Amino acid sequence: MADLERRAVAFLDILGFRELVTRIDKDADLFKRLRNTLKVTYSEKRRWAKRRESAANNADPAVMFIPARDVQFTAFSDCIVSSTPRKHALALALVTQDLASRLLAQGFLTRGAIVEGRAYHDGQILIGPAIVEAYELESNVAKYARIILTDTLGDRIRRDHWKYYGYVVSLDPSDGCNFIDVFARWACRF
């Protein structure tokens, strides 16, 4: 088993999940939507690999940031955790933007956080301080339907990838938090 490594970690929570689960006994369609929405995370890695393979042919420059072999996804209950090696933080922001946009299109709001820190993530095995930090930021700082990034991570994406920053990340003027903009023009390309 590999040691903990520096990773970018995204923790997403589907809002209102408890209330949705109480309705699934009476609404078979809702159960199918919830199940299929969570199942899609297991096909994400494959989907991004296909997009990367075709990126040269379809002029989709953002996909070139996404090393599909390095992206990990795990879904449990109302949570989805994805991660990449730290150097691919922009890729994780793009993947998270896409996933949150697709969940929103299915009628599910998300709240979350993306951090950088030490973690081990391989398939369904998750362990490390970065996962705990992402969870704590999601539950204590994000506060409403948004996916925040730590200041350090948001500043690094702005500095290193300024050309793409505004298509993925925005700054909330009310509290100064960087957040993934699921309505950005870039999200529509996915």
Q: Would you give the DSSP letter of residue 4?
A: P
Question: What residue spans define the domains of the chain?
Answer: 5-188
State CA 116 to chain mean position distance: 13
Label residue 143 left, alpha or beta by phi (over 0 means left) and psi (-120 to 50 means alpha). left
Residues of the chain with pLDDT under 70: 1-2, 40-69, 185-190
Which DSSP string corresponds to 105-174? HTT--EEEEEEEEEEEEETTEEESHHHHHHHHHIIIII-SS-EEE-HHHHHHHHHHSHHHHHHHEEE-TT
Q: What pLDDT sits at residue 190?
A: 41
Predicted confidence (pLDDT) per residue in 130-149, tens digit: 999 999 999 999 999 999 99
- Residues of the chain with pLDDT > 70, as a percent, come to 80
Beta bridge partners of 80: 12, 75
User: Using CA atoms, how far apart are residues 11 and 80, in angstroms rounded to an integer?
Assistant: 6
H-helix or E-strand spanning residue 48: helix 28-58
Q: What pLDDT sits at residue 20?
A: 83
Q: What pLDDT sits at residue 54?
A: 62
Largest CA distance in the chain: 50
3-class state of residue 6 by DSSP: strand
Q: What pLDDT sits at residue 1?
A: 47
CATH no., domain 5-188: 3.30.70.1230
3-class state of residue 50 by DSSP: helix
Q: What pLDDT sits at residue 156?
A: 86
